[in-house]
Amino acid sequence: MSPEIRELFVPRKESHTSSLLLMLQVTYLKCGSVVLGTLAKHILIDGRSAAHLFDTWCRIARGNLTSIVPPTFDNAPLCARSPPKICFEFPAYTTDPSKNKDNQKPCVLSLFKLSKEQIRHLKIRCSKGSNTAFFSTFCVVSALVWKCYCKAQGLAPGTKSRLCFTADIRNRVNPPMPAYFGNAAIRMFAASEVSKITSSPVGDVAGVVKAEIDRLTDDYIRSFIDYVKVMLDKKISVRDTDTSEADLRIRTILGMPFCDLNFGWGPPQLVSWERTTENRVAYITNDQENDAGIKIVLSLDLSTMKQFEKVFYEELMLFADEQNNN
C-alpha cells in the first residue's frame, strides 16, 4: 500500500489518539465499493485475533449468531514462571547496532504469484530426497522466496542469512489455547549460510524453515516468556527489529479467513497490509483472484528487486521443465 493510499483509507495515529487500542475507518467510494481501514496496537492483537474479531463482526452483520466462537481473554497460562526457568538461548533478541543500517533504503514493490499447481509441484519437489514427507505451503513458499532473495543480494558465501517470521503459539502450548484473544505470536529466525541456501535444493531450504518452526515446543515457549520477563525486569530491551541486509522478513496471513470475510456483500476484492514500504519484507497472502493460489508482495531496493525477478522466474521455469519431463 502506497503512502498516498494509506493516507486516504487507513486511520491516522496522532498524539490525541495514541492511547486508542483499535481504530476503524469506513470509506465509501463513488463506484459503490467500501474500504475498511484498521489500525490496532500489536500488544493487544495479533493476526489470528484480528481474524477472529472480523470474522465475528461479519457473522453478526449477517445475522449468523449461532456459529460465533466466543473468545478467551485469560492470559494466565502465558505468564512467566516463578522462579524463571530459561532452557534455551535467544540471541536474536540481543540488540546489534551494526544491523538495521539500511532498513530505510528507498524500495519498490513487486507482485509475484504462484498457482495452485505450482505450489503442489513445489511441495513435491521439496519432499523429494527429504526426510520430511509433508511441507506446509508457508514452508515451501518462504523457502523459495528466501533462496531467490539470497541469490539476488549477491552476498559473500560465508554470510549468515536469517528468515524472520512470526509463529502462532496457541496450539503449541500445553494445554492449547485455540480461542485465546490477544497477542500470542513469537518471532522465529531460521538461519543458514548464504552459500548453503543458494546452492542447496529448495527442499533443503524448506527443511531449515521447518526445523525452526518445530523448535516451537511448550518448553521453548515457556523459556521465551521467562526470558522476556527477566530482561524486562533488568530494563533491557528485547525488541527483535535488528536486521542486516542478509536478512529477510516474512509476513503472512495464510490460513486466516481475511479473504473470506463477508459482511453480507460477498468476500473482499482486496486484502492488504497498511505497511508495505519496509525494505526486505515479503508479504504472503492467498490470491483472491486465483483459487488456492498465493500472492507474494515483495519490498526491496530497486537493484535487488531486478535481480530477484530474474532469479524467481528462472526457478519457475525449472519447475515447468520438471513438470514437462515427468
Asked whether residue 196 carries a pLDDT value surpassing 60, the answer given is yes
What is the per-residue pLDDT for 255?
A: 86
Q: Is the pLDDT of residue 182 over 70?
A: yes
* Each residue's pLDDT tens digit, 79-93: 999 999 999 988 777
Tell me the backbone φ, ψ of residue 10, rounded to 5 degrees. Answer: -110, 135
Q: What is the pLDDT of residue 276?
A: 62
What would the pLDDT profile of 279-320 be if each residue is shown by its tens digit? 999 999 988 777 779 999 999 999 999 999 999 999 888 877
**pLDDT given at position 1:** 57
Dihedral sign from CA coordinates of 172, 177, 179, 183: negative
- Most confident range, picked from 95-99, 275-279, 307-311: 307-311
User: In 273-300, which positions are buried (b, 16+ CB within 10 angstroms) versus exposed (e)?
Assistant: eeebbebbbbbbbbbbeeeebbbbbbbb
What is the reported pLDDT for 131? 74
Residue with cell 503512502: 3
Least confident interval from 98-107, 130-139, 198-207, 273-282: 98-107
Residue 142 predicted with pLDDT over 80: yes
- Residue 323 binned pLDDT confidence (cut-offs 50, 70, 90): low
At residue 266, does pLDDT exceed 70? Answer: yes
Q: What is the pLDDT of residues 110-127, one digit of tens each?
A: 999 999 999 999 998 888
Write out pLDDT tens, residues 149-169: 999 999 888 999 999 999 999
Q: What's the pLDDT band for 271 if we cut at 50, 70, 90?
A: confident
Per-residue pLDDT at 94:
65
**Mean pLDDT, rounded, of the chain:** 88
pLDDT digits (tens, 9 = 90+) for 16-56: 566 788 889 999 999 999 999 998 888 889 999 999 999 99
- CA separation for the pair 221, 84 (Å, rounded): 12
Amino acid 176: pLDDT: 94
Determine what percent of the chain is predicted with pLDDT higher than 90: 61
Cβ(230)–Cβ(86) below 8 Å:
yes
Q: What is the pLDDT of residue 283?
A: 94
The pLDDT value recorded for residue 195 is 96
- In the chain the first and final C-alpha atoms are separated, in Å, by 40
pLDDT of 6 over the 80 cut: no
The pairing of strands 281-286 and 185-193 is unpaired
Domains of the chain by range and CATH? 106-215+239-325 (3.30.559.10)
Its pTM stands at: 0.90
pLDDT for 100 beyond 60? no
**Residue 219: pLDDT over 70:** yes
pLDDT, position 102: 54
| Burial of 243 (C-beta count, 10 Å sphere; 0-12/13-18/19+) | buried
